[in-house]
Structure 1
Amino acid sequence: MKNVTIALDEDVARWARVEAAKRDMSFSRLVGEMLRDLMRSESSYQEARRQFFSVEPRPLRANSAPLPSREEIHDRSGLR
C-alpha cells in the first residue's frame, strides 16, 4: 500500500472519522475503499460507454418506410 497525505475541511474529516468508527475500520481504510469504489464505478462506466459506441448506428427507416414503433426504437437486445 502507498501512504499519501491529504488535506480535508475539518467538517469532512470529522464526518469521515465518525463514519470509519461506525464501520469499525480505520480512517485510511475508509478513504481507500471509497476511492477504490469510485475507480471501479468509473471503469464500469467507461466499459459500458465503449460497448455502446461499438455498435454501428443504423437508420431508423428507409426513405419511404413508416417510422419504427416505440418497442423497436427502444429494443436493446444488441447491447446485452
Structure 2
Amino acid sequence: MLYISVLKNVTITLDEKVASWARVRAAEREISVSRLVGEMLKETMLQEESYQVLMQRYLSQSPHLLKDPGTRYPDRDELHER
C-alpha cells in the first residue's frame, strides 16, 4: 500500500529561551527548527498512541486471583523477607 505524506504548515509562538534551545538542537542535527518540532511532536504522538493501545490491552484482560481461594494473603514481613 502506498502512503502519501501531506505536510501542513503551522505557526507557533515560543519563549525566547525555548526558541534558542530549539535552534541549537536543530543545528546539532543539521535539520530545521520546523523539522525538529515536527519530529518531536510525532514522537510524542506515537508514544501516546502506544500507551493507549497497551492500556486498552491491559484493561481488557480478565481479573485474576492473587491467592488461592480459602488462603490468606501473605503479610508484609513474609512478602519482604530476604
| Shorter-chain TM-score tier | 0.7 to 0.9
Give the number of the structure with larger relative contact order, counting CA–CA contacts within 8 Å between residues 6 or more apart. 1
The one-character-per-residue Cα deviations of 1:43-75 (angstroms, maximum 9, x if unpaired) are 01001100100101123231x13548xxxxxxx
Number of residue-to-residue matches in the alignment: 67
CA RMSD, Structure 1 to Structure 2 (Å)? 1.4
Indicate which of 8, 14, 18 corresponds to 2:24. 18
Displacement over 4 Å in runs of 4+ = none
- Cα separation, 2, equivalents of 1:46 and 1:33: 20
With normalisation by structure 1, the TM-score equals 0.77
The Cα shift of 1:26 comes to: 0.5
CA distance in 2, matches of 1:60, 1:66: 10
